[in-house]
Structure 1
Amino acid sequence: MTGAATPLGTGLDANERGLWAFQQLVPHRGVSNVATAIEVSGPARWWPVRRALELVVARHPALRRSFPAVNGVPVRREHRPDEVDVEVEVHQAEPGELAADLRRFAARPFELGEPPLVRAGLFIPGPDQHVICVVAHHIVTDAASLDTVLTDLRRAYLALSGGHEPPIAAPVPSRARSGQDESAVRYWRERLAGFDATGMRLEESAASPEEPAFSGAELDRVLTVPADMLAGLRRRCRATDSAILLAAFYLVLHEHGAAPDAVVGVMMDTRPEDAGDVGHHDVGYHVATVPLRVSLNGRAGFADLVARVSGEIVTGRENGAMPFELLATARPDRSEPAWWRGALVRHCYNFRPERTSDEPLGDGSRFRDVHTGLSRFDLELVVQPVAGTLRVGLQYATEIHDAAFAERFLDRFKLALDQAVADPGLALADFDLRTARDRHVVTVANRTAVPWPAPPTVLDMIVKAARDRPDAVAITQDGRATTYGRLMSAAATVRDAVLSHGRADHPLVAVAAPRGAGTAAAAIGVWAAGGCYVPLDPGHPPRRLLQQLDEAGCALVVGGDDIPPRCLDGRIRVPLPDPATAAGTGPDRFEYGPAPADPAYVIFTSGSTGRPKGVRLTHRNLANVVRHFTAELGLDASVAMTWLTTFAFDISTLELCLPLAVGGRVVVAPDESAARPAELLDLIVRERVSVIQATPTTWRLVAEHGTGRLTGRTILCGGEPLPSRLAGRLLATGARVFNVYGPTETTIWSTTTEITDPDARITIGRPIANTTVDIVDQRGRPRPVGLAGELCIGGAGVASGYHGRPDLTAERFGNGARLGRHYRTGDRARWLPDGTIELLGRADRQVKIRAHRIELGEVEAALETHPDVTTAAAIVVGDSAADTRITAFVVADRAGLETELWNHVSEVLPGYAVPSGITVLDALPTTANGKVDYRALAARPAGPPARGDHRNGAEATDETEAALIALWRSVLGRPDLGRDANFFLSGGHSLLAARLAQIASDTFGTPLTMGAVFRAPTPAAFATLVRKEAGR
């Protein structure tokens, strides 16, 4: 509403208030400036420019306004022409610097309290050329007004340059302002109720900086759309060109990640339609950025979208144009650092009518657009018809997007327009916005075919290496060496034992043992018998081992005395062989091996229902990944690689097979060495290890001690996202660093990249040999470069499926024209323009904690097996990868269950999957559709959960307990803990448990492992274990 006039000034209208408020937020940036220019042939003339500008300012009252604050309240003052001193600056410009000079001139801010809010610059790049640039603040002008100013300036300049006094046009009266501001505010607030502005952040956008500079850039294109086809689209949609192009903008934004409930700020001219010629030349800010809310339904046709957009435009006009700036400042969204940018409108659309006159100022002169180098919006699409074409400019915030993104966006806008013109009824979900460049990038990245030479399986490779050098060392462990001959002889005893129990096709044989030469011989022996081994960790809870044995249907279990007796009920134990006592003639006894298509091993991963799932991998799968890394790393018989990972974890297979396949050496790392970096590095140096594979969690510990001790070695880092800071620390050690990625279902690793630049974006690289990758949407259609989708992997590494689970196999594995047989990973990723892949996280509720893949549904299922639990929810918390842990919430029939529940799930889940905190609630929060609201759980106030009897702060009974209580308190940062404090329910996790075990070992001089903390998680229980170990 226009304020009443006072001696001090007049109150501001809605447009002015919004722009004035915005200027206060960024007073030192000309974010609200608008500029244009004309290039003129001939010598520069300063005086005619200045006099022409004086006449223009005198004619248009808006250019003589100022907006000072009086007692903190902004007012509008209109000054007489003789009170305004116009400014024309002269700049000698180098031709190559002209654009930058104009941009700096246009971006310089105005002081709103000092008139005039317009200035001109005369730029002289040469003796026979000059450029006149006009800059004004948006509060007194808009694009159409600036054209009027430039037209008036042109006429006056031509007359004055010719020595004539220009005809002084009559002043243009200011149009009366609308008084419907408050009703407009009401309407738009109701229309935007419930809108989530965060849904308009695009996938490729960077986070808004806390103090944005509003830096911007512009990309211009001329698009040619056949006039007859565009006219046909207008007739079909019964809509204007502006509405059609706006609909295409909504579509392309949605393709780039904007939510289907979308808001775009649309520039609307607020001049009344009956304003007449004089009214249309009324200079001022006669536009408003109207936030139009449109719902996109993928099944609807493009013409339907145009109809919805047209309706919103009409409704928006009928209810009064409300400037975005005022709404933004009236309703801040502090969740966005630069909230005034993202509170309501992140993206803007501006359709400008074709210029009625593009007359030059003189022969060889022309208009020139000037960009301020600033941007209020993430994206602003400016469209203007020009001589039968469309001139399209994309202005973008350079803090949010880069030039390559802008190029791709406009390419896809043109594709969307072409497809809409060709078929107006095309469903939104059926638009294909992949450019020719997108297709080329993916095609080149997937050119991975490599014909491997014989022998065809890893077993064949190991047998060949053993025959070539039977006396060479194959495995070293604790100072003991096992030759290839003895390894193969020990393997033969397992082969014979398996065959003695029947010759079933590809029997599944469990190997439940820690890493070592005997375990390696067992795996090789099972293969030699035509069998498929199932690696199990005897340290896992007996109930979980039983689940896996039952799921696999194993009748034979190869292992030592540490297999829980209950796991052997109804099964036959085959003793773990001891290569030290085996004869050295083993290689000659291996005459026949498995075929490439035969199963090699079944390895269990977490299952969302609580039932573990066994992934069945073939010899062809394994041979391909071994061959690839042999070639990429340039390995030969001189290689020595650590066997660091537990045998039941799939990457352990590479640590065992990669060196043996080339006749190299496996160096078995002691248990817990991953958590003891100094000991691990000593082993690496002592054993001359050349290749080390570990997770980022392990490398984070090792990097602190690795300077100078990893130089010249090769590092494989995978199983979790690699933070860029860690990549830099690893490179600083002097090692070659490879980031590797792959799910168990596609055989260990499927993509790889060597990290060479610590400051470059971390990617998972490109597909390995004979592997193809696709990134698809929910319908399985390939996504354009830069846009997120589900990562699918095809090729030689794809497993044959889940053992005994045809339903699950059908759900996760598929066949398609592009990839053939493939696996849907559930990971979100995107192609980058260079053909590498960036991993973006999970699409489901599967998580990785310290490289262990965990289905949160399995954790919930385990909790719900307790008779007093009615429902459970598990989430991941933690500020960093090293601090990531699971915490659970349950609804139970009685209180005080935390410790009991922890003990209960510890019998079912491996230690890394046991929640570090369990909280009993009266009810789980739910979303509007009745589902568990995991966001609400994650937003609960930080702090430890309720603890029951484990927190009671009971005093120590002896010095051992006192020392352990102090240790618990130190490691967990919890001064309130007592002798019954459960380590994990008090905020601990496996990495902290490893640290605690190491400190306890040093304190008491007794070897204690991380597993001891799981078995005895309270100071009182751990003290009993310490006394027992000390008494041995």
Structure 2
Amino acid sequence: MDFSGKSDQDYVNWLHDRCKRLFKPAAKLFDAALVKLGQERFIFFMNQHHVITDGYSGVILHKELEALYSQLIGSQPGALNASDLPAPATFAEFIDQTHNYQLSEKAQQDEAFWIQHFSTPVAPRRYYGHIAWQQDHLTRYVTALLDPNLTNKINALTATLPAFLLFMATMFAFVRRVTVSNDICLGMPVHNRAPEFRGTAGLIFEVCPIRATIDAHETFNTLLAKLRVELDAVKPHQRHFVRPQLCTIDAFLSYQPRSPTKFAGYPAIYDRPRPASLFDATDLGDAPRSQSLQREVLSVNVYRKEGCPEFGVGMEFNRAIWPERSDGERSLGHFLKVLEALLDNPDREIDSIDVLTDKERTLLLPLNDNTLSVRAKLPTVLALFREQAIRRPDHPAIIFEKEVVSYAQLNARVRMLARRLSDLGVGSDALVGVWLERSPDMIVALLAIMDAGGIYMPLDPRHPPARIDAILGDAHPALILTQSSLKETSSQRWRNLMVCLDVEPIAKNLIAPIQGGNRASELAYVIFTSGSTGRPKGVEVTHRALSSLLFAMSNEPGINEDDRVLAVTTLSFDIAALELFLPLIAGATVHIASAEVVRNAHALAEQLDGHGITLFQATPATFRMLVAGGWKGNSNLKILCGGEALPEDLARQLLKRSGSLWNMYGPTETTIWSTTKKIAPGQPITIGHPIPGTSVFVLNENLSPVPLGVEGELFISGDGLARGYFRRDELTRERFLPNPFSRAPGAQMYRTGDMVRMHPNRELEYLGRRDLQVKLHGFRIELQEIELVLNDHEAVLHSLVNVVGDDDKKMLVAYVVPRITHELNRDDIHRFLRARLPDYMLPSA
């Protein structure tokens, strides 16, 4: 091939294309070409097929080609001659020897060892969030030369520790940090050549799997000890991997998927410096290395060039997981960060190492400083509502069935009830239960409690009396606003605290405003959610947190005074606060759907279409019901979907039925929503970026930041953070931690328990839970709470509750071990649970 007169890029393009070209060894053993770049610039290109050769064979073939070349051009000083090369054993002899081994008792012993060694399978790893086998075979290559100071530290340590063991431990620690796996298996090159085959070309090299577990508190020194034990254990049996494709048992065939990462380091023979030869006469300098083909996800090569005292590290990475060269460079940076940290302190825990590169840290810091974009002082919800009542007094504030309540009328009703509450002793920090069916009275009650200076606590009319009684027993409210039909079902213990809004006399004349109101630091509401101890836990949300959320939502996804919002969520689910308050602070109209409408797809669709709804928030389960019922949607509708993961197929359906679709994420403890993402067709479904006033951190178990793409637990900080758990100081300290990343004194961050990864564009991808909490139809459920209730049944000895099915087919399933002294009756257990748990927590089977 003649590239003289052409650019080097032309040659590089040809080289990339040529490396991709497949050839059959049966037709030709090698793909070779002599490339002319200039008058005195030549490159000899040779592509070996791994079916018949290995890396060390390249060294052997190089020597043979050099000898033949010397014969053709005549003798050169110091050059090899074909007659100088010793006659090696043939590859056929190696095959015969291998065949004899495979028939031997030693091979059976080796096979038994590996079956036992991998009797427990190694789980697939996610490199930067990607499953290892989701790959193509094209790779890229990046290198780095270690600085002299780092090399000196390595030399000092390797006076007593083999260098290959040092770098292997580094590789294990690196994989731990970028995959979060605790059971790791890497491939170690074994040249596998007995002395008689040192000069034989052929596929003799093999990869031996090395397996180690890395605990949360593992150190470099304890990892080294594990690797020494592992290497001593596998060394006598490593020959069994000479021909893994000939083994037919499943345990053996699955070894290779357990070694998607290959560590090529000392003492692999083919990495040793090659003597200078005629083929080295032309120095290509820093000519780019081509892409190559390999089956490993990642191959790390540690080397030392002749005449260069520093170590070099080369990383060959799969393009499916590292799409851009910059991804590979960042990954190599993580490897070097781990190496440097382990050399500085071998007793440091691996999970505590800061592996972020400087560029990565710069990219992440702005995401953790969003509190700077929020207004210093935000008015309370009540104050913002009153502004709209003055500005738009006659505009409809609430529409419920045939009842229309204007802003002026709503304000008057709020003030009258607030005066009544004040007369009953409700003031600052007084907790007031709200146990009402869906109607305008529900909103009047919430605002009136705020106006009186109190804290509202929603109670769901659909919950069984036993659960209502349990919540009231924990909370001991000062008062309960309810209605006569619900009061009749309540425990006698609480009836003297109940004020029935449908029968209690409330002054009809507007009385002078009371001296109530709220400060930003005071509590707006306490909402009880499922608890792992069997007791629902109350989350305390301040006025500042609620106002911050509503302020952020009013800007994005956005709302204006002409919007019509349909409220469908039960008051005991925190997202109901957005549906009720967001339209009222914007001068818009909130349409309240009755409980019966919410459960009926056709009736709900009629509400959406008949009232010209422009903003609608619901869970994926509700949207599934609507789509299944034939709802067509409309292009003027803005959809907010949250409460649980948004499936891709549902997102596609909703995009067809709306003007815009927003994926919403947030735990109750950070006030309704913490991140948002406007979904676009064909784009990945993520939970997006944090809202203004909110900071997010993706951390490992040691609370150290993880690199971009790596799975970690999501921590949230900012103005939306709840004060804590109601009268549960120990639980508050466990979940609300000091924020070491914030500049604000006393700042905290909430441990969500949600596992996420951050994309290079800084969007968050939700991956699942790290505990037994689940989201079902938008409701947060602690499975342990259901198990504890089940275990209280006299016929149940032990129980286990799990979620089965996907997307809209998810359901709770309970497994019970009966007491031998009792007969188990399914209907009896179901009645027992129904009396103590809300419907959404009842197992279906």
Change in 2 beyond 3 A, CA 1:683/1:490: same
**CA–CA separation in structure 2 for the residues paired with 1:578 and 1:714:** 39
Q: Which residue of 2 aligns with 1:1012?
A: none
Aligned residues of 1:234 and 1:241 also touching (Cα < 8 A):
no
Kept in 1: contact 2:127–2:321 (CA 8 A): no
Cross-structure match for 1:322: 240
The C-alpha deviation readout for 1:637-676, integer Å capped at 9, x for no partner, is 2222111111111000110000001221101123243443
**In structure 2, distance between residues paired with 1:845 and 1:815:** 24
Matched, 1:142 2:54: yes
Given the alignment, which residue of 527, 533, 540 partners 1:609?
A: 533
Q: Distance in 1 between matches of 2:730 and 2:776?
A: 27
Which whole-Å CA distance do the structure 2 matches of 1:197 and 1:548 have between them?
Answer: 45
Contact 1:43/1:129 (8 A) holds in 2: no
- Tell me if the contact between 2:548 and 2:720 (Cα under 8 Å) persists in the aligned partners: yes
Q: Is the 8 A contact 1:93 1:125 kept in 2?
A: no
The answer on whether the counterparts of 1:641 and 1:666 sit within 8 Å (CA) in structure 2 is yes
Whole-Å separation in 2 of the counterparts to 1:328 and 1:543: 64
SS of residue paired to 2:710: coil
Please list, as runs of the form range in 1=range in 2, the aligned pairs for 1:937-948 lying within 5 A after superposition: none
How many residue pairs match? The answer is 815
CA contact (8 A) 2:416 2:506 kept: no
Report the CA distance shift for 1:769/1:226 in structure 2 as closer, same or farther (over 3 A).
same
Match of 1:87 in 2: none
Paired residue for 1:411? 333
Deviation digits for residues 470-497 of structure 1 (CA, Å, limit 9, x no counterpart)? 2221001113210112112222232122
Rate the CA distance shift 1:729–1:126 in 2: closer, same or farther, 3 A: farther
1:193 counterpart SS class: helix
The aligned counterpart of 2:607 is: 683
Gaps of 5+ in 2: none
Counterpart residue number, 1:766: 689
Partner of 1:430: 352
Q: Counterpart of 2:165?
A: 243
Instruction: Please tell me the root mean square deviation across aligned C-alpha atoms, in Å.
Output: 3.4
**Aligned equivalent of 2:63:** 151
Shift in alpha-carbon separation, 1:342–1:750, aligned structure 2, 3 A: farther
1:11-22 pair list within 5 angstroms:
none
Mapped partners of 1:664, 1:214: distance in 2: 52
Q: 2:834–2:842: 8 Å Cα contact kept in structure 1?
A: yes
- 1 CA distance for matches of 2:505 and 2:692? 37
* Alpha-carbon distance in 1 for matches of 2:45, 2:58: 11
Partner of 1:926: none
Query: After alignment, is 844-853 or 248-257 more displaced?
Result: 248-257
Distance 2:652 2:59 in 1: 53
Q: Which amino acid aligns with 2:175?
A: L
Per the alignment, residue 838 of structure 1 pairs with 765
Q: Secondary structure at the match of 2:491?
A: helix
Q: Report the counterpart of residue 912 of structure 1 in structure 2.
A: 840
Question: CA offset at residue 173 of structure 1?
Answer: 1.8
Residue type at the aligned position of 2:143:
R
1:423 to 1:860, Cα distance in 2 relative to 1, 3 A: closer
- The answer as to whether partners of 1:124 and 1:131 remain within 8 angstroms in 2 is yes
Contact 2:143 2:313 in 1 (8 A): yes
Pair 1:485 & 2:398 matched: no
Give the Å deviation of 1:550: 1.5
Shift of 1:468: 2.1
Change (3 A) 1:438 1:328: farther
Please give the secondary structure, in 1, of the residue aligned with 2:388. helix
Q: Work out the CA distance in 1 between the residues paired with 2:25 and 2:629.
A: 56
Secondary structure at the counterpart of residue 198 of structure 1: coil
2:251 and 2:569 map into 1 onto residues whose CA distance is 47
Tell me: CA distance 1:452–1:688, structure 2 relative to 1, closer, same or farther (3 Å): farther
Q: Evaluate the alpha carbon distance shift between residue 481 and residue 247 of structure 1 in structure 2; reply closer, same or farther with a 3 A threshold.
A: same
Say whether 1:509 aligns with 2:432: yes
Aligned identity (percent) is: 27
Using a 3 Å threshold, how does the CA distance of structure 1 residues 109 and 510 change in structure 2: closer, same or farther? farther
Name the residue aligned to 1:890: 816
Residue 348 (1) aligns with residue 262 (2): yes
Q: Measure how far apart 1:374 and its partner are.
A: 2.9
Out of 10, 13, 20, the position equivalent to 1:97 is: 13
1:821 paired to 2:748: yes
764 and 314 in structure 1: CA distance in 2 versus 1, 3 angstrom threshold = same
Kindly provide the CA deviation profile for residues 288-323 of structure 1, in whole angstroms up to 9, marking residues without a partner as x. Answer: 211123343554542453454356446544545332
Q: Write the letter of the residue equivalent to 2:779.
A: H
Q: 1:607 is matched by which residue type in structure 2?
A: G
1:731 to 634, 655, 658: 655
* Counterparts of 1:379 and 1:568, CA distance in 2: 68
Which one is further off, 365-374 or 672-681? 365-374
> How many angstroms apart in 2 are the aligned matches of 1:185 and 1:650?
63
Distance 1:127 1:541, change over 3 A: farther
Report the residue type matching 2:694 in the other structure.
Answer: T
- Residue of structure 2 in register with 1:639 after alignment: 563
User: After alignment, is 212-221 or 475-484 more displaced?
Assistant: 212-221
1:524-673 aligned within 5 A: 524-565=447-488, 566-567=490-491, 569-570=493-494, 571-576=496-501, 589=513, 592-673=516-597
Q: Does 1:388 align with 2:309?
A: yes
Superposed counterparts of 1:22-171, under 5 Å: 94-95=10-11, 97-105=13-21, 107-111=22-26, 117-123=29-35, 131-138=43-50, 140-157=52-69, 160=72, 167-169=81-83, 170=85
1:848 deviates by 0.7
Q: What is the CA-CA distance between 1:455 and the residue it aligns to?
A: 5.5
Give the secondary-structure state (helix, strand or coil) at the position aligned to 1:562. Answer: helix
| Aligned mates of 1:228, 1:798 — CA distance in 2 | 43
What is the CA–CA distance in structure 2 between the aligned matches of 1:156 and 1:651, rounded to whole Å? 79
How far 1:150 sits from its partner (Å)?
A: 2.1
Shift of 1:593: 1.4
Q: Cα gap change, 1:812/1:465 in structure 2, threshold over 3 Å: closer, same or farther?
A: same
The 1:568/1:493 distance shift into structure 2, 3 A limit, reads farther
CA contact (8 A) 2:620 2:645 kept: yes
Match of 2:710 in 1: 787
- Per-residue deviation, residues 748-767 of structure 1 (Å, max 9, x unmatched): 011112112x3222111111
The answer on whether the counterparts of 1:505 and 1:530 sit within 8 Å (CA) in structure 2 is yes
**CA deviation digits over 1:931-974, x for unaligned, max 9?**
xxxxxxxxxxxxxxxxxxxxxxxxxxxxxxxxxxxxxxxxxxxx
Q: CA deviation at 1:184?
A: 5.3
In the alignment, is the contact (CA less than 8 A) between 1:40 and 1:129 conserved in 2? Answer: no
1:877 maps onto 2:817 in alignment: no
Q: Aligned residue for 2:788?
A: 861
What secondary structure does 2:433 align onto? strand
User: Following superposition of structure 1 onto structure 2, how do residues 275-290 of structure 1 map, counting pairs within 5 Å?
Assistant: 275=195, 280-290=198-208
Greater gyration radius: 1
Q: Aligned partners of 1:381 and 1:330: how far apart in 2? A: 30
Structure 1 stretch displaced more, 516-525 or 145-154: 145-154
Taking structure 1 as the reference length, the TM-score comes to 0.73
1:322 aligns to what SS in structure 2?
helix
| CA–CA separation in structure 2 for the residues paired with 1:766 and 1:568 | 48
User: Relative to structure 2, which stretch is displaced further, 490-499 or 232-241?
Assistant: 232-241
Q: 1:652 to 1:538 in 2, by over 3 A?
A: same
CA spacing shift, 1:294–1:708, aligned 2, 3 Å: closer
Counterpart contact for 2:667–2:752, Cα < 8 Å = yes
The residue number in structure 2 matching 1:190 is 113
Matched, 1:850 2:773: no
Structure 1: 5+ residue stretches without partners: 1-38, 45-91, 918-1032
Q: Compared with structure 1, are the counterparts of its residues 310 and 140 closer, same or farther at alpha carbon in structure 2 (3 Å cutoff)?
A: farther
1:973: which partner in 2? Answer: none
1:126-178 deviations in whole A, cap 9, x for unaligned?
Answer: 78755432233335432122022123324433653679999433562217656
Cα distance in 1, alignment partners of residues 615 and 634 from structure 2: 10
